[in-house]
A = this chain, B = another copy of it.
Amino acid sequence: MLNLSSEARERVLKNVMKLEVETPSWGYSSGGTRFFVYDDPTAARTLEEKIDDAAVVHKYTGITPAVALHIPWDKTDDWPGLKQYAESKGIRIGAINPNLFQKNEYLHGSVTNYDPAVRAQAVDHLLECVQIMRDTGSPVLSLWLADGTNYPGQSDFRRRKKNLIDSLSKVYKELQGEERILVEYKMFEPAFYHTDIGDWGMATFIAQALGERAQTLVDLGHHALGTNIEQIVAWLLDMGMLGGFHFNSKKYADDDLTTGSVNPHELFLIFCELVKADRDPEIQSNVVYMIDQAHFDKPKVDGMIQSVQNIQIAYAKALAVDYDALEEAQMNGDIIAAEEILNTAYNADVRPLLAEAREQAGLDPSPLEAYLKSADREIRVARSK
């Protein structure tokens, strides 16, 4: 069982470069924790530099052709100009991310607020984001709510749920064609007693209440410790409710660590579910893959390319699994054989295959190394000077 079969190698080569991953504009500017924001001398300082950085990541990796925007952080007076700028750099605008947490008004929630005026303000912002989708050609409104409370009694769960659905319905009914709203969930932070969309169940019930243009978004860092995320992914795929992914990682809390840095095996198992679903004619899925990280202690572009590489390694291993043999082992109740079939792929070194696939795509076989030696990096290092 030491080597991958030629079929497995073929599957990897054929598919691994097809996985496209959006990168986030906010991952290119300086970030930090609530205790301190570090100066990254290489960080982007303007919207254009963020676009440049996203384009550079795409230049080296070949699989990140879209940059997700955050409104108002990335707001501009000239959306057509921005779209054109991005295209001139070889990328497109990805998901539009509204901001419903950086105003004093949102202390008691945004779309869930007890105050109808605040809810209306939040809905207006969401509608503005829908317009930005159209102005930039983005098909996805990616909704993360910071709404929640810190203390028992502070608010009423059911009233907030009603306000949430009422508010989002006003946005949802403006969607048309291929436009989608992706509903993200998060267990905690910035609210620490309760979060209004706290788990995949809540997100999915809300998406179902809205309609078929609404789906659930899974962020790898947003679950309770011990949660089997791959099972949730499988359920959402089975229900036709998986709309998007935010890649990142966490060990205990925070969700802004490099994807695959803490438990790469879990990332592999999640990709196994995605690959299995792709093989299943009964599953129709249209999943938007996004990185949502802000490496506050790594140079931004470097960390982003590293993240893409980690994602590709996990995906390549998942592609290399012999799922027919796996199913056979499962139907024989052979636990050890099934586990070993996964391990055969997981323990393989897929980096040579990745290098080959990249070269076939006209890329350097080692994106991070290539970037580190490049003039593109020099430019970024010189930014603060």
Chain A interface residues (CB < 8 Å from chain B): 1-2, 32-36, 38-39, 101-104, 106-108, 114-115, 146, 149-159, 161-162, 187-190, 192-195, 198-202, 204-205, 224-228, 230-231, 234-235, 237-239, 250-254, 257-258, 261-266, 269, 273, 276-277, 280, 297-299, 302-303, 306, 313, 326-327, 329-331, 333, 335-336, 338-342, 346-352, 355, 366, 368-369
Contact = CB atoms under 8 A, between A and B. Distances in A.
B189 A254 contact: yes
Given A35-B190, A101-B35, A339 B261 contact: yes
Contact of A336 (B35, B38, B204, B302): B302
Given A204-B201, A253-B252, A257-B193, A273 B157 contact: yes
A336 B295 CA distance: 11
Pick the 3 closest A-B CB pairs, nearest first: A201-B201, A224-B224, A226-B252
Contacts of A250: 192
| Count of identical protomers in the assembly | 4
Contacts of A32: 34
A385 B369 CA distance: 56
A28 to B, nearest CB: 15
Given A151-B335, A151-B338, A158 B193 contact: no
B228 A227 contact: no
Given A265-B263, A297-B335, A340-B368, A34 B190 contact: yes
Given A161-B238, A261-B151, A265-B263, A188 B340 contact: no
A35 B146 contact: yes
Contacts of A302: 336
A351 to B, nearest CB: 5
A306 B347 CA distance: 14
Given A157-B234, A234-B158, A326-B153, A335 B298 contact: yes
A237 B250 CA distance: 26
A152 B157 CA distance: 31
Contacts of A204: 201, 205
13 contacts: A2-B351, A114-B331, A115-B333, A151-B338, A152-B339, A154-B338, A157-B235, A161-B238, A193-B257, A205-B239, A224-B225, A224-B226, A226-B253
A336 B303 contact: yes
Contacts of A273: 157
Contacts of A303: 336
A33 to B, nearest CB: 4
A24 B103 CA distance: 26
Interface centre among A39, A114, A205, by most chain B C-beta atoms within 10 angstroms, is: A205
Nearest to A351: B2
A329 B156 CA distance: 11
A348 B2 CA distance: 12
Contact of A251 (B101, B188, B298): B188
